[in-house]
Amino acid sequence: MKSRLPSTPMEALAISGGLRFAVNTVHFFADLFGFWKHPRVVAAADFEDMTLLDKMYWAYKSKKPVSLPEKQMKICSMSQPVNGPLPIPAGFIKQHSLTLSAVGDLIKLDGLENSTDILYEKVAPLIFDADISTANLESQLSTKEAGAYTFNEKETPPLYLTKPQYEALKGHKGKRYTLLHTACNHTFDMGREGFETTLSQLELDGIMDLGTNRTPEDRQKGRILEKNGIKIGFVSATFGLSGKPIPEGMEYAVNVVKFHREEKDISLLNEQVAYCKGQGCDLLIASLHWGYEYEFFPRAHQVQIAHELADKGVDLIISHHAHVIQPVECYKPAGKPGRNVVIAYSLGNLTSSFSAPHLVLSGILGVKIAKGTVEGEAGEKTFIEDVRLTPVVQTEDEKDGKSVVRLEIMKDYMMNRRKETGESQNRYFPEIERLSGVMGYYHVFE
C-alpha cells in the first residue's frame, strides 16, 4: 500500500517560494558537483548554531543521506558480523548473567494511536524479553496541542505524544521498557508542561527516565539498576535542545553536553562515570543523544569522545539522534586485555514520521552480560560476552479501517513481500538491503 506518511522532511518544508528556489538551486549544484557526498566539514549539528547554508545541507541530506565518512577518517571493517560472542579471558567462570536490549528513537507518527499491541507484535521478544530494555523517547508526552509538524528556517517542529500514542510506544501486552532516555533536543518542545507530564507518566508506569533530573544534585549522578546480581550504571547527555528555552530555575533539568562545538567539555559525563564507579557498579553504559542527522557514519570527534569514555570505564555506548543507522564498533582499550567496549553510533528510528527507506530502517541491539571470576585474578569481573544486531523496518497497514504501523524483522519482511508480490526488483527492497550493510559488521575507526 502507498504510504500515508511524507517520504522525507523535504516534503514537510514550510518556507517561502523564494527560499525554496534558493534551496533547490543549492541542492542542484550539490548534485552536479558532488560536494556533499562526504559530510560537510564545518556544518553545525545544533539548530541554534546553524547558518542558512547548514539548514540547506540538513534538508539535502534528509532526502539524500550522506553515505560516506569524513575524508580524513580511516575505516576498516572486520570480518566478524554483529551477531555472536565476543572474546573473554580464558579461565572465566560465569556466576551471573544479564540480557539487555536497546533500540533507537521513538518518534510520533500518524497511526500510532491505533497500534497498541500491534506495533511490536513481530519484534516484541527481541526487545521485551530482555532483562533490561531501553530506548530513546524522542517525543514528549503532552496534554496540549501544538502546531503542524512542518519544518522551516526559524525553528524545529514540536515533537509530542498524545496519551494513546504513548500507550502504543511504551510496550507490548503488559511488558514495558525498563528505561527511556528522555534527554534529547526535543525535551522542552512542549515547555515545562511536557517535561513534567512525561516524567510523571513514566514514574506512574514504573519506567526509569535517563538524562533528565528532578533536583540539581541528580545532574552529576548516573542512574543505577541492579538485576540478576549485576549492578549497572547509566550515564547520559544530549548535545543540545534545538534552541528551546529551559524554564527559569530548571537549568539542571537536562544533561546537556555540547559534543559538536569546537570546545568540547565532557566533564559532566566524567562526573557521572565517577559517581557510578563510586557506587560499585559492575558495568557502565553511556546513552548519548548526539551526532549529525542523516549521515551514515559518525564524525571523527565523536569517535574520539567515545574512545575517551571507553578508556575511562564505559563498557557500552548506545547512541541516537542521527535518524539513520550507523556502524557498531568493537573498541579494545589499550592496556586492558580481554575488555571489549561495544559502541553503537546510531540505531536509527525505531518509529519514524517519514517513509523513505533510510528513515524506516533501524536496529535492535541485543547484549549479553556476564559476571564472574577469572582464574588466577582477584575479585569479580564483568564482560560483554555476546552482541547481536537485528535490522528491522517500520511498515504500514490497515486494521478495522484504521491506519496502523508495525515493526518487522527486515529479513522476514522482505522475504514475505517478495513472495506476495514477486517484485524482486522493487526499488524499496534493495535499497534497504544496501543500507543495512552499513551496520552489519564491527568497524574500527582511526
H-helix segments, 152-206: 163-169, 191-204
Enter the C-alpha cell of residue 426.
522493487
Cα 328 to its chain centre, rounded Å, is 12
What residues pair up with 383 in beta bridges, in sequence order?
A: 370
**CA atoms of 170 and 116, how far apart (whole Å):** 9
**CA atoms of 246 and 238, how far apart (whole Å):** 14
Enter the C-alpha cell of residue 129.
524479553
**Cα separation values, 44 from 152, 157, 238, 351, 363, Å:** 17, 18, 15, 25, 26
How do the domains of the chain map onto residue ranges? 9-63, 75-445
- Is the CB of residue 171 less than 8 Å from the CB of residue 128? yes
Closest Cα partner for 176 from 214, 204, 217?
204
What residues pair up with 392 in beta bridges, in sequence order?
A: 362, 409
Which amino acid is it at 431?
A: E
Which amino acid is it at 123?
A: V
What residues pair up with 409 in beta bridges, in sequence order?
A: 392
Exposed/middle/buried for residue 326 (C-beta within 10 Å: 0-12, 13-18, 19+)? buried
- Is the CB of residue 329 less than 8 Å from the CB of residue 443? yes
May I ask the CATH architecture of the domain 75-445? 4-Layer Sandwich (3.60)
- In order along its 446 residues, the chain shows pLDDT tens digits of 678 899 999 888 888 899 999 999 999 999 999 999 999 999 999 999 999 999 999 999 999 999 889 998 877 765 566 788 998 999 999 999 999 999 999 999 989 999 999 999 999 999 999 999 999 999 999 998 766 676 778 878 888 999 999 999 999 999 999 999 999 999 999 999 999 999 999 999 999 999 999 999 999 999 999 999 999 999 999 999 999 989 999 999 999 999 999 888 999 999 999 999 999 999 999 999 999 999 999 999 999 999 999 999 999 999 999 999 999 999 999 877 778 999 999 999 999 999 999 999 999 999 999 999 999 899 999 999 999 999 999 999 998 889 999 999 998 888 887 777 665 545 455 666 666 666 665 667 76
**Cα separation values, 33 from 25, 37, 62, 394, Å:** 12, 9, 18, 33
**Cα separation values, 337 from 80, 83, 285, 317, Å:** 19, 22, 19, 19
Closest Cα partner for 344 from 311, 318, 310, 370?
318
**CA atoms of 430 and 426, how far apart (whole Å):** 7
**Cα separation values, 25 from 293, 420, 422, Å:** 22, 41, 39
Which amino acid is it at 312?
A: K
- Is the CB of residue 144 less than 8 Å from the CB of residue 193? yes
